Structure 1
Amino acid sequence: MRGWSVTTLPPRWVTPGQPPFVARREEVAELETAWSDVKLGAGRAVFISGAPGIGKSRLVSTACTALHDDGAVVLTGACVQDLGTPFEPFDIPIRDLLALVDVTDGGRDLAQSAHLLEQAFASPVMTEGMEIGQARLFQAVIELLLAATEVRPIILVAEDLHWAAPSALRLLARIVADTVDARLLVIGTFRSTLPDHSDPLADVLANLGRLEGVRRRELAPFTVEEIAQFVTVAGDVSPDVASGSAVVLRALTGGNAFLVRETWRHVIASAESSRLDDTLILELPSTTPDLMRSRISVLTTEQRDVLELAAVMGQEFQLSELIAVSCSSVEVTLSAIDSAVGSGLLEAPQPSREALRFPHAIARQALIEHASRADLMAMNALVAHTLESSFPAAPRLVQRLAHHYTEARALGYGDRAAAYLTRTAEAADDRLAHEDAARSFEHAADLVPDPQARDLLRLRAVHSWILVSDFAQARAGAMRVIDDGDPRSCIRAAIEFEEACWRPGLHGDQAVGLLSSALSRIPAEPDDALYVQGLAALGRATAFTGELDEATRLGDQAIAFARGLGDRQALAEALRLGVSHTLGPRGITARLERSSELSRIAGGPHNEAFGGAAYVSSATCYVAGDRAGLDQAERDLTETARHWGWYWTYFAQCVRFGRSLAAGQLDETESIIGAIQRAEREFRSDTTAGAGALQSFMLRRERGTLASVRSFITGDESPVSRWAPGLLSIYTELDLVEPARRTLSWMLEHDHPAAHQSSDWPACLAFMTEAAVWLRDPGLAAVIHPWLLEYQGLNLMAGYFVAVFGSADCYLGEIESLCQFGAPLDRFTSALEMNERMDAPLHVAYTLAATAACLRSEDPGSERATALADRARSIAEPARMSRVLRLLDKSAPVASAPRRDGLTPREVEVLRLVAEGMSNKAIAAQLVISENTAANHVRSILSKTGSTNRTAAARYAREHALI
């Protein structure tokens, strides 16, 4: 990318005759310091807040004008109070940057990004579909900014952020977060006072505030001394005279910079001569509202009507439009403009443009408040009619018509308002501002009387919320349709509700209920595409309740019906919904065949269904041990993520995590976990817990850093209030024998078949096996063995690459070695082949260590065992696989010698509690077992110790030093 000339500044910044700029030394210095940092390559963002008229814009314009003289490229944009364009205030700066730079020498990726930005920001009409996600568009913005700042340092000014729409706020967050190492200074201004305070903006700034280069500055009102400085310069009077006026000005204006300036303008206008003295303070208005009213009161009725129309048209308006809208003659309209400019109600017109501006929202608001509510509605209707009939090429025409007709809806313009709001929403969706689109669709729905039209608009809003991954909003919108919609609308809403549950991983119960109820209201006709889609969605929702048999039946039926329809889109949707029922060992072959078919139908990453196929295929290929298939699926998923972003980026990063961990690349794995957490924040997973906690645990245990949590572990933690498999693994890693035995026993006692269908079941199997083998407890291990057999010949993976454990055959071999049945060495051979095929050195090392342990259990001096252990060490040491090395160095715990009385460790534990006087119920609660199990333990203890009752058993415990 080659250099370009310095940009021009906004005309209003360089207009001659502006009032003097005083005070704000610290604020200017902060901006100058930020600019100095930026020139050295450190991105900075400064957000300036305060009340209306406090001087935010003047501070920014003054500082940026000086920095522009220092070589800064200054790009400016602002938000409007009324309905704005997508991504405002960044739309104009991006268009300006595209016009300034030449990207032809920036490589293919930059040229592609520039093309996307041309479509979204520069093209007046969307001439071709943008088959990408909002996240890809944001990435294009970042790529353009990064490339541009390589050539010149840039200042990006975004004013009036309190009016920014959600899509713009999300883009703001991306720009600031992703340019921390770029020569970019972002300056934002916003109002921090009611009614303009923006909670969404406050949330964004709170998150950005964690970044080192982000600063906030609240502007305080002018002090008396600062006002005196202004009066001294503006009025060319002595400091003594200025001091007296400043006291009164401070009392009248509260130190508000705009009001100080305009009140002083009133003083000058009231002066009978050019000589100013302290008697002029007597000419000040009694209050600032009086100041505005006094300026409006000198206007004629016709002039006031003209200016009220101008205020209704916006902060900035076109003179030609005002002349057309005004019922007054051209002469009267122009005289009203002249009078307003003379009194300071309007800025002086610029020769270079037709647009006129109010100097501040305060001046515009004063005119609007002067009109009655009825008059305002009539004026909005008049403005809308005129723009609609006479100005087809007016800027922001659709958005402005939507705003004005909405303001006039009480006069019977609700239908027109809804129509233009719908067009506004469609334009926002076309340009990937899906949050803005959803809000406009919902607003339009509230204005239409026809129930079916209202449901359709609400469903379009739901779809827009899903496109931007705001699943909570999507579910809420779907419920509004389900509550009072017609039968077919209810099915569509229930389908969208299920989609907004599946993507963030919510349980399927509620979706099953809603879909079942909706489907029961229409005929079950296989040739009805909507019924077929609803059936497929019901199948996937059912799978997320754990009922895989029923889910499979429903999914197979939906796919068969879709094939009968002969509709490729219907078939693709049925396949997309049907292939993701489970990532476990069931139906692997059929799942791979269907995901391949879905991929072919989708045709490429421009279609999100292609990503759905890659999602299922990647997980299935890992479980099946298909290395080539996993490689291809990961490439497909990465391409989908480049097109769509959000959760596709998350899925792609999860695959990278699993493969990096299995490869033993622990430093890279840590970096990937950070990327996953950032991706999770980008899409809104609302009520679901992220995968980061378990992923971080998997990394920490391989690094051997779990000892840092030892001080927080008592060994008495309840598996009821915690995730029992994780608790068991921590006990195992920390060598807490009895807590581990107790927790493993509890898990086995409380096993339920439904748990075997959950996404974390493979982690349960792995952690239970590890604990049983470490405890050298054949009885416990034997219970786990048949559950593991379902995974023989396959890999174990919990969630979607949340935790990968390599070949299940290694775990089966460890159990069979401990229990002395089966063919453990054959299992280890199979596991080694699988782990080597999958390029998983971490799991290869574990398999070698486990094989060595098996051989040593038969022959402690086995040379082959030593060779295998040495090979495992040669893999683990360079990669710093601390857990593998620890297992190689440390012998498994030796089982305690059997007691003469035959008491098991658990029975000794129960006997101690009996001696403390606990009842069976209390013992059950303490050990987290059933009361019936506690009673069985007590009966066994009485029998083995020859005790006739609990008192005798307690005496036995004391005599044998068990308490």
Structure 2
Amino acid sequence: MSNTRLDQLLAAAAVVGERVRLDVLQQVVAMPPSDFLAAVDTLVRAGALIVPPDSGEAWFASESVRRDAEAHLPLGGRADLHRRTAEALDPTADAAEIMRHWSAAVATTADPLDRARLQLQLAVAAVRAGDLSAAHAAVQAAVVTARRSRATELLAEAAVTLEPIGQSEWDGDIHQWCTEALAAPGLAPRAAVHVLARQTQAAVYLARWPEAVATSSDALAQAEALDDADLLVEALTARQLATSGPDDVDELAAAAARMIDLGTSTGRAEVELRGRLWRIDALWYCGDLAAIGAETGRLASCADRVDGPHGRWHVLVTQASLALARAEFEEAEALLGDAFDRFRRIGHPAVHGAEVMFRVLRGHHLGHTEDLLGPALWRFGTDSRWDLFAHLCRAFVLVDAGRLDEAAAHYHRCGGPGSWQAPRAGELLLNAVAARVAAALGAVDDVRVVRARLEPHRGRYVVGGGGGTNFLGPVELALGVCAGALGEWDAAASDLHEAIALCRSIGAPGFAVEAACLLTEVYELSGESAQARTTAAEALPLAKALGMTPWLARLERPDDPLSPREREVARLVAAGLSNRGIAAALVISERTAQNHVQHILGKLGFVNRAQVAAWAAQRSTQHRE
């Protein structure tokens, strides 16, 4: 064998690393296996390399030999060897090492366009290695080169290299790069579909919903015209993000079937995984917990064949959401704990929001922890998607805890319901949470607004989908809350009866207890005390078995017809405050204070404020005793 070939092999080994896997080195030098082994034997006999028996590895006999071999390499040859090494390594096992080699290839490449393309490879490797900052910086550098060179193809490639993650600067940059690429001259049709799909994803994460619907429609139409499986995957993924609401269940199920077929026919587990997640989202809207359980098994099979932590994350989140819906609280907490630990290791920004929402929903039935009542957990940085949900869900938690003044302050920061822009996948969850908060605070005008939004979705279940499901029972449960807040007792009782039946039929006992408790209070408020006691007695054993302490406390006192907010108002009436004084004390409008007083009079069957004051004083004495 020639000295040139031996020198090439030695130089490649020097670039690959201090310890060299022989299978990787053989791919880097692209030698036939027999020639490669003969060359390695020659270098071992010459004392340059050491290869222990059965190790599959080699290393240099001395550091000086390695440095000398690397020093004779020209920059171009060094960059090429780093590139080949990065391509030869296993991306699932050697993420950090792959990132190191792409970075070295970038540093030793002189041509700006070639360097930019290597930077995009570096960005992909950095994401796999969990270094999101390095990934973002690498794409930014490539975009700068593409702009200077007016390289449309490179700009389009850069625009689709990263995926949105819920961080506003990151997602905003992706959106801007896509906008520039689509406006650049000479963009090829295939590239246009990829860029449209990625722009849709960024628009969704930036809460630009109308834009997302339009761009996803364009992407899907163009992909279907090109009849390309890879483009269809991209376009369907974008469309799913833009149209995952309760009105889109049939379209979502159809898209899921197409994705599953595309994944299985092409052997791409990650594509099949997406389709199965979409199918599960559609099943959540239908409340089919049994089918979700069955589909989760297929989802887990896909996840085992998908590179990286994301597949297992989705399995754990789905299993935990299902356990929470079934009131298997300890199981849900264990599963979510595993999922959160996995994603915290790579610093993924989605973890915090997912964890807070899980704790909100768990605490709704079991009681909220003190740290959830404080401000620290509600800081979501620059993720714009959480601005509205942070205030509304924090108000929801404070209402559950009976801290209505604080809840009102956060609720007022949300603005009126007419100003809310929710993702389609979260519109039912947003309005169901708002229904409970507005009802507790006596914001009857807002109750009417969210009730009108929920009414068309009878028979559906309240979820926040898109792959990270938050479940809040049937729509009828939220509608029952609305009807009760408006004093429409017959409608409230009807909706809550239906909610109980639906929860029992699908196996969601925690929400059955919640609906029964609310029905008990409706009966009491409407003067049907005997029926209230009967309903409470029927629900109490299940509430105890599930450990639903807050709801257990409400079921054990069905003789108090007032809501927490109304009890507060009654106390202020007893203290002699006028409607204006009550409004000032509770930071509500005078009209809302007047509405509260009228509701109290009606519920208690009184005709004047003096009777309310006497009733409040009597109850205060009873509680002290």
Q: So what's the TM-score if we normalise by structure 2?
A: 0.74
User: For residue 287 of structure 2, what is the aligned residue in structure 1?
Assistant: 625
Task: Report deviation, 1:734.
Answer: 2.6
User: For residue 320 of structure 1, what is the aligned residue in structure 2?
Assistant: 45
Deviations 1:258-300 (A, max 9, x none): xxxxxxxxxxxxxxxxxxxxxxxxxxxxxxxxxxxxxxxxxxx
User: For residue 807 of structure 1, what is the aligned residue in structure 2?
Assistant: 474
User: For residue 94 of structure 2, what is the aligned residue in structure 1?
Assistant: 433
Q: Is the 8 A contact 1:507 1:545 kept in 2?
A: no
Instruction: Determine if the alignment matches structure 1 residue 789 to structure 2 residue 452.
Output: no
Q: Map of 1:640-789 to 2, 5 A cutoff? A: 640-644=302-306, 645-686=308-349, 689-704=352-367, 706=369, 723-747=390-414, 749-751=415-417, 753-757=419-423, 762-775=428-441, 778-789=444-455
Question: Structure 2 residue aligned with 1:484, among 128, 145, 160?
Answer: 145
Q: Is the 8 A contact 1:731 1:740 kept in 2?
A: yes
Q: Is the 8 A contact 1:559 1:575 kept in 2?
A: yes
Deviates more, 1:560-569 or 1:730-739: 730-739
Deviations 1:902-949 (A, max 9, x none): 9875x3266579xxxxxxxxxxxxx6x9xxx89x99xxxxxxxxxxxx
Of all paired residues, the percent bearing the same amino acid is 16
Q: Is the 8 A contact 2:15 2:82 kept in 1?
A: no
User: For residue 839 of structure 1, what is the aligned residue in structure 2?
Assistant: 507
CA gap 1:872/1:601 in 2 versus in 1, 3 angstroms? same
Q: Distance in 1 between matches of 2:345 and 2:528?
A: 54
Deviations 1:417-476 (A, max 9, x none): 122111101111466423322331232233233444333322223333344554433322
Instruction: Determine if the alignment matches structure 1 residue 608 to structure 2 residue 281.
Output: no
Task: Report deviation, 1:513.
Answer: 1.4
Q: Distance in 2 between matches of 1:636 and 1:745?
A: 44
User: For residue 880 of structure 1, what is the aligned residue in structure 2?
Assistant: 547
CA gap 1:487/1:858 in 2 versus in 1, 3 angstroms? same
Q: Is the 8 A contact 1:729 1:771 kept in 2?
A: yes
The one-letter code sitting in structure 2 at the alignment partner of 1:851 is L
CA gap 1:900/1:732 in 2 versus in 1, 3 angstroms? closer
Q: Is the 8 A contact 2:354 2:468 kept in 1?
A: no
CA gap 1:356/1:519 in 2 versus in 1, 3 angstroms? closer
Question: Structure 2 residue aligned with 1:495, among 154, 160, 163?
Answer: 160
The one-letter code sitting in structure 2 at the alignment partner of 1:320 is R
Q: Is the 8 A contact 1:488 1:522 kept in 2?
A: no
Task: Report deviation, 1:647.
Answer: 2.0
- Asked which structure has the greater CA Rg, the reply is 1
Q: Distance in 1 between matches of 2:142 and 2:372?
A: 49
Question: Structure 1 residue aligned with 2:516, among 840, 848, 867?
Answer: 848
Task: Report deviation, 1:858.
Answer: 2.4
Q: Is the 8 A contact 1:575 1:594 kept in 2?
A: yes
Task: Report deviation, 1:802.
Answer: 5.7
Q: Is the 8 A contact 1:508 1:545 kept in 2?
A: yes
Instruction: Determine if the alignment matches structure 1 residue 421 to structure 2 residue 82.
Output: yes
* 2:507 counterpart SS class: coil
Task: Report deviation, 1:490.
Answer: 1.0
CA gap 1:627/1:505 in 2 versus in 1, 3 angstroms? farther
CA gap 1:462/1:738 in 2 versus in 1, 3 angstroms? closer
CA gap 1:554/1:903 in 2 versus in 1, 3 angstroms? farther
User: For residue 581 of structure 2, what is the aligned residue in structure 1?
Assistant: 908
Q: Is the 8 A contact 2:459 2:474 kept in 1?
A: yes
Q: Distance in 1 between matches of 2:369 and 2:127?
A: 39
CA gap 1:685/1:82 in 2 versus in 1, 3 angstroms? farther
Q: Map of 1:847-866 to 2, 5 A cutoff? A: 847-863=515-531, 865-866=532-533
Task: Report deviation, 1:563.
Answer: 1.2
Q: Map of 1:241-640 to 2, 5 A cutoff? A: 320-322=45-47, 380=68, 383=69, 404=70, 407-409=71-73, 413-429=74-90, 432-485=93-146, 486-497=151-162, 499=163, 501-502=164-165, 508-523=171-186, 528-581=189-242, 583-603=244-264, 606-627=268-289, 629-640=291-302
CA gap 1:352/1:481 in 2 versus in 1, 3 angstroms? closer
CA gap 1:908/1:356 in 2 versus in 1, 3 angstroms? closer
Q: Distance in 2 between matches of 1:615 and 1:683?
A: 22
Q: Is the 8 A contact 1:680 1:690 kept in 2?
A: no
The one-letter code sitting in structure 2 at the alignment partner of 1:842 is G
Runs of 5+ unmatched residues, structure 2: 1-12, 29-41, 380-385, 593-625
* 2:471 counterpart SS class: strand
Give aligned pairs, total.
546
CA gap 1:471/1:653 in 2 versus in 1, 3 angstroms? same
Task: Report deviation, 1:646.
Answer: 0.8
Q: Distance in 1 between matches of 2:361 and 2:371?
A: 15
Q: Distance in 1 between matches of 2:237 and 2:350?
A: 24
Q: Map of 1:168-183 to 2, 5 A cutoff? A: none
The one-letter code sitting in structure 2 at the alignment partner of 1:784 is V
CA gap 1:884/1:321 in 2 versus in 1, 3 angstroms? farther
Q: Distance in 1 between matches of 2:370 and 2:60?
A: 66
Task: Report deviation, 1:562.
Answer: 1.0
CA gap 1:808/1:124 in 2 versus in 1, 3 angstroms? farther
The one-letter code sitting in structure 1 at the alignment partner of 2:423 is Q
CA gap 1:350/1:827 in 2 versus in 1, 3 angstroms? closer
Q: Distance in 2 between matches of 1:736 and 1:796?
A: 25
The one-letter code sitting in structure 1 at the alignment partner of 2:253 is L
Q: Distance in 1 between matches of 2:207 and 2:312?
A: 27
* 2:98 counterpart SS class: helix
Task: Report deviation, 1:763.
Answer: 4.9
Q: Which has the higher helix share?
A: 2
Q: Is the 8 A contact 1:694 1:803 kept in 2?
A: yes
CA gap 1:479/1:615 in 2 versus in 1, 3 angstroms? farther
Task: Report deviation, 1:657.
Answer: 1.7
CA gap 1:633/1:682 in 2 versus in 1, 3 angstroms? farther
User: For residue 618 of structure 2, what is the aligned residue in structure 1?
Assistant: none
* 1:456 counterpart SS class: helix
Q: Is the 8 A contact 2:246 2:425 kept in 1?
A: no
The one-letter code sitting in structure 1 at the alignment partner of 2:477 is C
User: For residue 824 of structure 1, what is the aligned residue in structure 2?
Assistant: 492
CA gap 1:515/1:721 in 2 versus in 1, 3 angstroms? closer
Task: Report deviation, 1:852.
Answer: 3.0
Q: Distance in 2 between matches of 1:480 and 1:357?
A: 36
CA gap 1:665/1:483 in 2 versus in 1, 3 angstroms? same
User: For residue 615 of structure 2, what is the aligned residue in structure 1?
Assistant: none
CA gap 1:848/1:432 in 2 versus in 1, 3 angstroms? same
* 2:161 counterpart SS class: helix
Runs of 5+ unmatched residues, structure 1: 1-80, 93-120, 127-316, 326-346, 359-363, 369-375, 384-403, 914-926, 938-963
The one-letter code sitting in structure 2 at the alignment partner of 1:874 is P
CA gap 1:318/1:502 in 2 versus in 1, 3 angstroms? same
Deviations 1:352-411 (A, max 9, x none): 9999987xxxxx67xx5xxxxxxx99x73xx4xxxxxxxxxxxxxxxxxxxx2xx445xx
